[in-house]
């Protein structure tokens, strides 16, 4: 005599609609990989700015505790505040004075092209100083040949 269960199910059979106890993570991994590739491609594009030829020095970098005010002086004498606000030498002082009202610890980083005349750079620094800014630093690049 063969043994059978009263409900008609054999020992080796499963129910037709048994719940699955494992999660399929393959679609989630696919989506995460696509997002990772998108972020890897777009991250370098997010750091836009004004291209200048910075001089090279062996100076140490400054600590980055709060966001500085960045002023770029291009070879032609064009002054850019941040990444988009253009200003003349006469407008620079009042703009910095207005920014200094909201932040007494304002730091200004000056990015000057190495081909900008020394006299013009000193006029820019004079305007920054006249606005009341006491923390001014020049942005440079490390030397390409660092064998020393």
DSSP 79-102: EEETTTEEE-HHHHHHHHHHHHHH
Enter the CATH code of domain 69-138: 3.30.420.270
pLDDT at 47: 62
Pairing of strands 85-87, 79-81: antiparallel
Give the SS3 label for residue 29.
helix
Return d(Cα 124, Cα 79) in angstroms, integer. 9
Share of the chain above pLDDT 90, in %: 7
C-beta separation of 34 from 122 below 8 A: no
For residue 112, how many other CB atoms are within 10 A of its CB? Answer: 24
* pLDDT, mean over the chain: 78
Sorting pLDDT into bands at 50, 70 and 90, what band is 32?
A: very high
pLDDT-based confidence at 35, cuts 50/70/90?
A: very high
pTM reported for the whole predicted model? 0.53
* 56: β partners: 141
Q: Spell out the domain ranges in the chain.
A: 69-138
Q: Is 73 exposed, middle or buried (0-12, 13-18, 19+ CB in 10 A)?
A: buried
């Amino acid at each position: 005599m063969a043994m059978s269960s009263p409900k008609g199910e054999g020992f080796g059979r499963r129910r037709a609609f048994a719940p699955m106890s494992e999660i399929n993570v393959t679609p989630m991994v696919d989506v995460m990989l696509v997002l990772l590739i998108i972020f890897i491609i777009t991250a370098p594009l997010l750091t836009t700015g004004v291209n200048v030829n910075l001089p090279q020095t062996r100076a140490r970098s400054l600590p980055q505790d709060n966001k500085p005010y960045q002023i770029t002086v291009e070879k032609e004498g064009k002054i850019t505040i941040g990444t988009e606000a253009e200003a003349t030498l006469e407008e620079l002082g009042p703009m910095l004075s207005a920014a200094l009202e909201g932040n007494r610890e304002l730091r200004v980083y000056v990015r000057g092209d190495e081909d900008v005349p020394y006299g013009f750079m000193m006029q820019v620094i004079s305007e920054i100083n006249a606005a009341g800014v006491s923390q001014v630093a020049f942005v440079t690049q490390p030397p390409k040949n660092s064998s020393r």
